[in-house]
Amino acid sequence: MSGELTPSFSPADIEAPLYKKWVAAGYFKADASSTKPAFTIVIPPPNVTGSLHIGHALDHTLQDTLVRMKRMKGFEALWLPGMDHAGIATQNVVEKQLAADGLTRHDMGREAFIKKVWEWKSESGGAILDQMRRLGDSVDWSREAFTMDAGLSTAVLTIFKKLYDQGLIYRAERIINWCPRCLTALSDIEVDHQEDAGEFVQVRYGDGDVQITVATTRAETMLGDGAVAVHPDDVRYKDLVGKLVLLPLANRYIPIIADELVDPEFGTGAVKVTAAHDPNDFEMAVRHNIPFVVIMNEHGVMEGSDTRFDGMDRFVARTAVVEALRAEGRIMDEKRPYIHAVGHCSRCETTIEPRLSKQWFVKVAPLAKAAGEAVRDGRVRIEPEELAPRYFDWIDTMHDWCISRQLWWGHRIPVWYGPNDEVVVVGPGERAPEGFIQDPDVLDTWFSSALWPFSTLGWPVQSDDLKKFYPTSVLVTGYDILFFWVARMMMFGLFAMDGVQPFHTIALHGLVRDQYGKKMSKSKGNTVDPIEFMDTYGADALRFTLARGANPGKDQALAQDWIGGSRNFATKLWNATRFAMMNGATTKGDLPALDSLNAIDRWILSRLSQLISEVDVLLESFEFARACELIYHFAWDDLCDWYLELSKESLASGKSTDTKRVLGFVLDQLFRLLHPVMPFITETMWIALTENESLVIADWPVSNTEHIDKKAEKLVTELQEIITQVRRFRNDQGIKTSQKIPARFIAPDYIHDYVGAMAFVLRLELGEITPSAHCEIARVKVEFDLTHSIDVMAERARLEKDLSTAKKDKQTAEIKLANAGFMANAPEAVVIEIRERLAKTSAEIDRINAQLDNLTRI
RNA sequence: GGGUGCUUAGCUCAGUGGUAGAGCGUCUCGUUUACACCGAGAAUGUCGGGGGUUCGAAACCCUCAGCGCCCA
């Protein structure tokens, strides 16, 4: 039912039906055969296990804002949704379910387990998709993608083979990050470094002439030591280098070597070399031909040390080893707790164990170089640019990427091994030779997400989608996954697409923090639920709050009160629109000629025109916060507090049909401008007002420079000053709002047309009066006939306050103008401005003094 | 250790050379024919400290202090 709005705004009643309508109408569906220019965003794929958290809500709000704006601007806008298979996370979820029945994945076997995961996905996966509908995401559901889909899997095989053939994928035995709980290798970025309270002990090795004390935080690994290393220039140990020293407990002799890697300042300047259990030690061991002694199994349990510690958990062994060493009098010093950074599995928080193991790696140097260049030469822009150094810092020093995972859920590595150690990479559509066995591992989840901007568009098939929508326009994401994801997409995108970058712009936003600016975390209990917020305040209020807080690359604090404030804004708009419609606001017919309009109408059109051009520029440059701020103040201050108030008299008297048309126009344009951020409420109000089909497919407003009217703006500013002055007077005098005061205006001609409007706002009764008090600004005087005598004290206080302000302003102006340097160097316009300020404040001071004189006479 | 950002009103934050701003909170008054999820008015700041550049600095430079994030 158009043409009417319910007396109160109820988000819950309008949101779901509107979303259904939009999807049914196909507004979000992009057409690859369209002749319109393309605008593409691929969604950062949420985990299939995930649900919508407040960070998604922010990320999606910003993307939806851009996509909706571009759609209105006439672009063929595609926002492509989808999900990530999230290898470890998903496997953990399903394994946990199995564990409830006392089963492990090994009990089921690989094939059955994977089937189980797919079942889980179809039953419980993707909860986030419905939550995205709540938020109003204008994604093209017909193109929904999943990283394990057939098409995307083909993309994975294709690029794996291409990388392998060019020597960019290799298999090697290296020290990798190992999670003893997930039982898989992890890449560097899947490891979180936390400050842990550990221990730092100094252990004396050797006896008699050959003794040396080493420092360690992982005493148990000494059982696997292959050497002791010192810095080559360290005079303390010069004589010991080359000698063999007794390794306690293990009762082996190991060499003392010299290597540049050792920091002579750290600890005793001598370090133990445990080649199989530490990446730095590994490097040294390779250089010095030190044997790799593996003393721990995949579960982090001691094994193979041939000591009594075998069979102990690594942490139990740590204590036991230290005690055993102490018993031998070999502990020279110990610090406990010793706070140092320790790696933890980002999925399960288990302490990472560096482990010697054979894994597949991507050789990143050439790929990273291209990814760096694409940003350096300007093909890809990072917004805000302050974050670019962080990108370079990472990409210029990136280590080779360990891509194999000892999991079952994911893209299985397409490498087959023959009976005589032959290695064959099997591309899409190819078959492995008879008798070959496939590598059991799967690829890191980020391997497939790195292909997202083109695998979702059909690659490796040269599809219409790929031709139309690649490269994508902008990637909107939090700076926290710049390394995880963005850098990898850059590397693979440039490689797979023959140097064509995956996106033109990387627009980074910050993180949502709690109301005190603290990081949200489950352990702190300060997380918030966007769904609850939408239930309470509506999706528009949540979206507006997030967009209003989104300064490029900056974190934002969020509190429930902020969202309440946005809900209030929505209510305000709703009520203003109801009021406008009750008073006949219309969008029918042409806008009246400018010269036939009164100054108030011309003023709001002028303000609107500036708003449109400013908001447009701001949204195009990802300045969501500033754009929202401008809209908020235009709507609340200019439109509601001033334009509607100043128009009430003419609307009530029915004398102006022009105002009804202008009001309709302003609302129409405002709704268009605000629609990308608050789609639901604007759509509802706009349809009621215009009786048109949908704002989603309406045109984006264009600023009309002819509407800019400085004269009208100056006049209305003057009206605002008078009105504020009179309000202060009434307030200070304690005159009730409801009490009408007989009054008259003494003002120049150009004000006369607006005296009625002002009197209405100020509740003044115009007529011939005997004045007993007055207010005055610049060229306008308002005289009142007060039935009771005025509060002289209050009036004196008010005037004296104004006087002191004016005097201070005058003084600053005088000082400037008396400054020879200022007069000589300041630009002409600034000098004129200061002169005008001086004149204005001088007149102000005279006027106030006269009023104060008058007051003493009363 | 390397990189990077921040320090402005009680709180959270805008503000890149010309009289210090917003939201929320606070105080006073008020139901006037859209709205109390409201209106009107008010208070609140040596813009972290110290130097410098400039006619003029919250902003540019140097320096000190504190906080944060990323990486090692």
- Residue A471, domain CATH: 3.40.50.620
Query: Does the C-beta of A692 come within 7 A of strand B?
Result: no
pLDDT for the residue numbered A648: 93
Please indicate, yes or no, whether residues A694 and A586 belong to a single structural domain of this protein: yes
pLDDT at residue A1 in the model: 35
CA dihedral A306, A308, A314, A319 (to 10 degrees): -140
Same domain, A226 and A349: yes
* CB of A483 lies under 7 Å from some atom of strand B: yes
For residue A701, which of A763, A776, A616, A765 has the smallest C-alpha distance? Answer: A616
CA of A540 to C1' of B37 (A): 14
- pLDDT computed for residue A443 by the predictor: 93
> How many Å does it take to go from CA A832 to C1' B52?
30
User: A9: which nucleotide lies closest, measuring CA to C1'?
Assistant: B37
- Does strand B come within 7 Å of the CB of A340? no
**A837 Cβ contacts chain B strand, under 7 Å:** yes
- Distance in Å from B59's C1' to A601's CA comes to 37
A515 CB neighbours strand B below 7 A: yes
Is the shortest CB-to-strand distance from A584 to strand B under 7 Å? no
Task: Calculate the angstrom distance between C1' of B37 and CA of A51.
Answer: 30
CATH number for the domain that contains residue A243: 3.90.740.10
Give the pLDDT confidence score for residue A522 in this predicted structure: 75
A681 and A640 in a single domain? The answer is yes
Same domain, yes or no: A286 and A189: yes
Q: First and final CA of chain A: distance in angstroms?
A: 62
A858 touches strand B (CB under 7 A): no
Is A367 inside a domain boundary? no
Using a 7 Å CB cutoff, list residues 612-631 of A near strand B: 625-626, 629
Distance CA A236, CA A618 (A): 64
The answer to whether the beta carbon of residue A390 comes closer than 7 angstroms to any atom of strand B is yes
CB A72 within 8 A of CB A672: yes
| pLDDT digits 0-9 by tens, A533-579 | 999 999 999 999 999 999 988 999 988 889 999 999 999 999 999 99
Residues A194, A132 within the same domain: no
User: Which residue type is seen at A47?
Assistant: N
pLDDT of residue A787: 66
Q: Give the CA A826 to C1' B57 distance in Å.
A: 15
Report in angstroms the alpha-carbon separations of A89 from A84, A115, A450, A511: 10, 16, 18, 22
CATH number at residue A570: 1.10.730.10
pLDDT computed for residue A857 by the predictor: 62
Q: Is the CB of A397 under 7 A from strand B?
A: yes
A135 and A47 share a domain?
yes
Query: Domain residues for A302?
Result: 184-354
Length A24 CA → B36 C1' (Å): 40
Its sign, for the CA torsion A170, A172, A176, A180, is positive
Q: CA A594, A598, A603 angle in degrees (round to 5)?
A: 75
Here the tokens at position A506 are 């990387």
Measured CA to CA, the distance from residue A216 to residue A203 in angstroms comes to: 8
Residue A524 lies in a domain: yes
Distance CA A130, CA A111 (A): 30
pLDDT at A207 (0 to 100): 84
The pLDDT value recorded for residue A2 is 43
Q: How high is the ipTM of this complex?
A: 0.95
**Residue A544 CB in 7 A reach of strand B:** no
Strands (E), A767-811: 773-777, 780-784
One-letter-per-residue 3-state SS of A476-523:
EEEHHHHHHHHHHHHHHHHHHCCCCCCEEEEEEECCEECCCCCECCCC
How far: A736 CA to B41 C1' (Å)?
Answer: 12
Burial class (CB in 10 A: 0-12, 13-18, 19+), A297: middle
- Tell me if A386 is assigned to some domain: no
Please give the protein residue whose CA is closest to the C1' of the nucleotide B36: A568
CA atom of A633 to C1′ atom of B21, Å: 13
Return the nearest residue to B33, CA–C1'.
A652
**Is residue A170 included in any domain, yes or no?**
no
Here the CATH number for the domain that contains residue A777 is 1.10.287.380
User: Can you give the pLDDT at residue A606?
Assistant: 95
Phi-psi category of residue A240: left, alpha or beta, with phi > 0 → left and psi -120 to 50 → alpha? alpha
* Strand B closer than 7 A to residue A578 Cβ: yes
Q: Which nucleotide C1' is nearest A579 CA?
A: B34
Nucleotides of B under 7 A from a protein CB: 2-5, 11-15, 18-19, 22-25, 28-35, 37-43, 54-56, 69-72
Relative to beta strand A472-478, strand A503-509 is parallel
Q: What pLDDT shows up at residue A850? A: 85
Cβ of A826 near strand B (distance < 7 A)? yes
Q: Residue A415: inside a domain, yes or no?
A: no
What nucleotide is nearest A10 when CA is compared to C1'? B37
Structural domain count, chain A: 4
**Closest nucleotide C1' to the C-alpha of A810:** B19
Instruction: Report d(CA A798, CA A473) in Å as an integer.
Output: 57
Q: Are residues A571 and A467 in the same domain?
A: no
Q: Which of residues 720-759 of A touch strand B (CB under 7 A)?
A: 723-724, 727-728, 730-732, 734, 736-738
A576/A484 Cα distance (integer angstroms): 46
Same domain? For A571 and A700 the reply is: yes
Strand nucleotide closest to residue A562 (CA to C1') = B24
A140 assigned to some structural domain: yes
- A744 and A667, same structural domain? no
Average pLDDT of chain A, as a whole number: 89
Same domain, residue pair A526 and A561 = no
Spans of chain A below 70 pLDDT: 1-3, 787-789, 857-858
SS3 content of chain A, % helix, strand, coil (to 5): 50, 20, 35
Note the pLDDT of residue A788: 61
Cis amide linkage into residue A471, ω under 30° from 0: yes
- Is A822 within 7 A of strand B by CB distance? yes
User: Phi then psi for A46, rounded to 5 degrees?
Assistant: -70, 160
Task: Tell me the nt nearest to A813, Cα to C1'.
Answer: B19
Q: Evaluate if the CB of A195 falls below 7 Å from strand B.
A: no
Last residue of a domain, one of A321, A338, A354: A354
Using the 3D structure, point to which of A316, A331, A354 is the last residue of a domain: A354
Cα(A40)–Cα(A473) distance, integer angstroms: 5
Assess whether A829 (CB) lies less than 7 A from strand B: no
Residues A775, A648, single domain; the answer is no
Q: How far is the CA of A826 from the C1' of B52 (A)?
A: 21
Which helix H or strand E contains A611, and what residues bound it? helix A599-620
Identify whether A218 is part of a domain. yes
Instruction: Tell me, yes or no, whether A832 lies in a domain.
Output: yes
**Gap from A6 CA to B5 C1', Å:** 48
Name the nt closest to A575 by C-alpha to C1': B34
- Is the Cβ atom of A165 within 7 Å of strand B at any atom? no
Q: Are residues A105 and A19 in the same domain?
A: yes
